[in-house]
Chains A and B, each alone.
Chain A
């Protein structure tokens, strides 16, 4: 105990000196600096106060007292922050047009690690690769999408409704009951009936949690995690039921080579010629590797204003794997597999 006290005293002395210096330097600033050490929460009052200059709230042994002091400390901090903000705003206003441009806040998206697979639109090789891949028949206008939607065995509750609503979003989609069939046996039948997509919604505890999207006749197959599904009924301020018109598709932010493949996979779900009369848009927005799906109806109110109305359902997808060829989880070759703790070790690295 003795030793520790001595130690703290020494620390105090050195801090005192520092404090004096700061006070001298900023004689007119009322509030001394709050933070000097990042590790401990320190309570500092003006030098005349009863507390020793470096006083840590955590040293108070009475819990209630400690809580009170901590609240005070927090309040103080907040006040200072607000003051600073006000001051800056005033300065900006005073400067008027000459004010320096506002700093862009740092986010993990704009600090993204450079990805060498980012697609350059002028690259011949990638263009050729994409021009001759499995979706080329669709993008050349040779096939029309036809989608089969099914679920895991014995769907219950929300999953059934989710399937039905998906079928209203995707034109030319048919919902079938799974009847305990193996996917590998369904696929040849689908190919024989000219389906171009097989969509399987998996459920766990009556909630949809997985989506297998298999492009037919020869792949690829993507496996997604599905989360935060909100059905039409649960959406506030939603519009009337969607019409049968072909929607427009917006694909946002799919920049890497893998992202391009996934974007093409989604684009090929919808017919290529949207019927603009319907004024419906399906959006796949990629942000931080999560793909957000939204379905809207828009209206141009005048030349400047647009109104949108969500039609639902909305859900979020996260890619787990992309497999070459049709569904074959055992012997199929994977083009990309999410390896947790290896790939997402860097928070600023994104795959899509």
Chain B
């Protein structure tokens, strides 16, 4: 188990309650659970890293337990139950400075738990029908929530009384009708306060808390089906969104235009994540496949069949494949090749006549062309 779990660079949570690890080097997938004690109650809804070294994995289940999985030992080390199972499944999990855990459930209770105390340290109400909670990668105390008829809210966990920012609903449409609200996923844009959200009404919105404007500063649309997942690219200037029909697009955040679509999916997208350093994006969903696309040329790099419907996805921040780790080594090899080539070239005799012969007519032609151009 230990060896296996160390190999894995992609972690997935499935609807059947199985935690899956995929090693792209070996092109293998492993199940980390007891096949005998499976139940649908343990459906994995959220995944996050327990510490910055990525040795612990927090797994949020539907029945309200959060299990800790050690990637070094390859076993579940701890299971804690937070809150009522009646509150609904987890819509977000995050760790706070290693020791504390932030949990958010569908009914809107966002709580911070410490390891030693049994009760929550801080609790806040994010409103009903929360679809997703996300933590800011830059400031761990800052979280964003949003859901159905529940606009984007950004909270500071130090001051849980009032949200830092509450989004205002969109302006009424041209028939003076209210526009419905449904935030499905959000992401913090690095190096700025901005937050990008995707909605169930196929819109992508960018909110900027640093300005007084509470409506989105950028509105974009993609497709005609609800957008379910979103992920920012490493550079932060584009966002990858996926919808319920299995269409994934890369949207540019400067003007909100589609840069390109990623192909090959056949079922709705449940989770998306871009790699922290490499230009790769991983997607999983109802078609039971993990797919990894390149963001540069948008081709499908890997496709792994994982047998259950997949709910959530987590990438390790290290390189996904060893070949990529050996990037500099490869470069070295190339250099060697070049040196060899140089040797080959050096050892060859110089043939001057042929070269001059070839050159002369070519040069003439160029001159002629130039003359022609001048004549025109």
**Chain A CB within 8 A of B345 CB:** no
Contact: A335 with B267, CB < 8 Å?
A: yes
Name 26 A/B residue pairs within 8 A (Cβ), A-sorted: A116-B305, A125-B16, A125-B35, A125-B307, A126-B307, A128-B16, A129-B307, A129-B308, A324-B268, A324-B286, A332-B244, A333-B286, A334-B245, A334-B246, A334-B268, A335-B267, A335-B268, A335-B286, A336-B266, A336-B286, A337-B245, A337-B266, A337-B267, A339-B246, A342-B264, A343-B266
Residues of B with C-beta under 8 A to A303: none
A125-B31, A132-B16 known; A333 and B268 CB under 8 Å?
Answer: yes
Which of B16, B18, B35, B286 is A334 in contact with, Cβ under 8 Å?
B286
Which 10 residue pairs spanning A and B have beta carbons closest together?
A: A333-B268, A335-B286, A116-B305, A333-B244, A335-B267, A125-B307, A334-B268, A124-B35, A336-B267, A128-B38
Name the residue in A116, A123, A337 with the highest tally of chain B Cβ atoms < 10 Å from its Cβ. Answer: A337
Which partner residue on chain A sits nearest B305 by CB separation? Answer: A116
Residues of A with C-beta under 8 A to B70: none
Which partner residue on chain B sits nearest A131 by CB separation? Answer: B38
Which chain A residues in 111-138 approach chain B with CB under 8 Å? 116-117, 123-126, 128-129, 132
A335-B286, A337-B266, A339-B266 known; A117 and B245 CB under 8 Å?
Answer: no
Instruction: Mark interface residues in B34-65 (1 if CB within 8 Å of A CB, else 0).
Output: 01001110000000000000000000000000
Name the residue in B31, B245, B266 with the highest tally of chain A Cβ atoms < 10 Å from its Cβ. Answer: B266
**Chain A CB within 8 A of B233 CB:** no
Number of chain B residues close to chain A: CB under 8 A: 26
With the chains together, A330 CA to B307 CA distance in Å? 27
Which chain A residues in 90-147 approach chain B with CB under 8 Å? 116-117, 123-126, 128-129, 132
Contact: A331 with B200, CB < 8 Å?
A: yes
Which chain B residues in 212-271 approach chain A with CB under 8 Å? 225-226, 228, 244-246, 263-264, 266-268
- Residues of B participating in the A interface, judged by any CB pair closer than 8 Å: 16, 18, 31, 35, 38-40, 200, 225-226, 228, 244-246, 263-264, 266-268, 286-288, 305, 307-309
Residues of A with C-beta under 8 A to B266: 336-337, 339, 343
Interchain nearest-CB distance for B267 vs A (Å): 5
Which partner residue on chain B sits nearest A125 by CB separation? Answer: B307
Residues of A with C-beta under 8 A to B268: 324, 333-335
**Chain B CB within 8 A of A279 CB:** no
Which partner residue on chain A sits nearest B38 by CB separation? Answer: A128
**Chain B CB within 8 A of A257 CB:** yes
Interchain nearest-CB distance for A320 vs B (Å): 12
Residues of A with C-beta under 8 A to B225: 330
Residues of B with C-beta under 8 A to A132: 16, 39-40
Contact: B16 with A117, CB < 8 Å?
A: no
Interchain nearest-CB distance for B24 vs A (Å): 16
With the chains together, A257 CA to B288 CA distance in Å? 10
Which partner residue on chain B sits nearest A332 by CB separation? Answer: B244
Residues of B with C-beta under 8 A to A324: 268, 286
Residues of B with C-beta under 8 A to A343: 266
Instruction: Mark interface residues in A257-301 (1 if CB within 8 Å of B CB, else 0).
Output: 100000000000000000000000000000000000000000000
With the chains together, A334 CA to B265 CA distance in Å? 11
Which chain A residues in 311-352 approach chain B with CB under 8 Å? 324, 330-337, 339, 342-343
A125-B18, A125-B31, A128-B35 known; A333 and B228 CB under 8 Å?
Answer: yes
Contact: A117 with B288, CB < 8 Å?
A: yes
With the chains together, A342 CA to B261 CA distance in Å? 13
Name the residue in A124, A126, A332, A334 with the highest tally of chain B Cβ atoms < 10 Å from its Cβ. Answer: A334
With the chains together, A335 CA to B246 CA distance in Å? 9
Interchain nearest-CB distance for B193 vs A (Å): 31
Interchain nearest-CB distance for A178 vs B (Å): 26
Contact: B244 with A334, CB < 8 Å?
A: yes
Contact: B308 with A117, CB < 8 Å?
A: no
A123-B307, A125-B308, A257-B288 known; A337 and B246 CB under 8 Å?
Answer: yes
Interchain nearest-CB distance for A117 vs B (Å): 6
Residues of A with C-beta under 8 A to B228: 333
A324-B286, A334-B267 known; A117 and B305 CB under 8 Å?
Answer: yes
With the chains together, A343 CA to B244 CA distance in Å? 17
With the chains together, A105 CA to B16 CA distance in Å? 42
Contact: B287 with A335, CB < 8 Å?
A: yes
Interchain nearest-CB distance for B212 vs A (Å): 33
Residues of A with C-beta under 8 A to B305: 116-117
Residues of B with C-beta under 8 A to A124: 35
Which partner residue on chain B sits nearest A133 by CB separation? Answer: B40
Interchain nearest-CB distance for B365 vs A (Å): 26
Which partner residue on chain B sits nearest A324 by CB separation? Answer: B286
